[in-house]
Amino acid sequence: MANIIVLDPGHGGVDPGAIGNGIQEKDLTLGIALRTAAFLRGYGADVRLTRTADRVFSNDKRADLHARVSFANNINASYFISLHINSGGGTGFESYIAERGASEETGRRREIVHRQVKAVFTGEGLPDRGMKAANFAVLRETRMPSVLLEYGFIDKEKDASLLKDALFLDRLARATAEGIARAIGVNFFKK
Ligand SMILES: [Zn+2]
């Protein structure tokens, strides 16, 4: 039984996601996901990404989200992590699990991942906005534990200046990979 981790870099292609301060969400989510995958593979994990380039499954937003979910469901993934950047005037980090139907295990893993990633933000003086729940398609429709991470606000100058720093993206990726590894347990990666 393969233990597969799916990383889902939000947006891509025709859909830039949030934009602000000269940067685009789709580029940041891909950058963090590729780095996170590298760290996880270093631990021996089997990691698959819903995209590894500036593209989407479909230019139709709904169809694209369905395709990302199907990608994970079809390979019977063990954990689904969707990576996003926030906008709308806030600042700091927050994470989401499904509003309805999230398992106890989903909540347990999320707490561990959240704790790791939030430390990178609070270490820079940015707030922990908390562990939240929402009715997002990728959380609702995935058949395995899933979490969605919002790595700061692209339209907030301080958040954006950090997100422009490749070393900061490295730190976010390392924390995310570490969180996932701790949440799932090291034995998970043994082949
Ligand atoms: Zn997004």
Q: Is residue 52 scored above 60 in pLDDT?
A: yes
Position 162 confidence tier, pLDDT thresholds 50, 70, 90 = very high
Structure tokens at 86: 């926030």
The CATH number linked to 144 is 3.40.630.40
149 CA distance to ligand 1 middle (Å): 9
Domain around 122: 4-189
> How many CB atoms lie under 10 A from the CB of residue 60?
13
Please report how the helices 166-184 and 104-122 are oriented relative to each other, as an axis angle in degrees rounded to 10.
Answer: 150
pLDDT of residue 155: 98
178 CA distance to ligand 1 middle (Å): 22
Task: Specify the pTM.
Answer: 0.96
Number of domains in the chain: 1
Q: What mean pLDDT, rounded, does the chain reach?
A: 96
Is 124 designated active site? no
Catalytic option among 99, 124, 141, 150: 150
* Cα–Cα distance measured from residue 19 to residue 12, given in angstroms and rounded to the nearest whole number: 12
pLDDT of residue 185: 82
Q: How far is CA 56 from the centre of its chain?
A: 16
7 CA distance to ligand 1 middle (Å): 14
85 CA distance to ligand 1 middle (Å): 6
pLDDT in tens, 109-159: 999 999 999 999 999 999 999 999 999 999 999 999 999 999 999 999 999
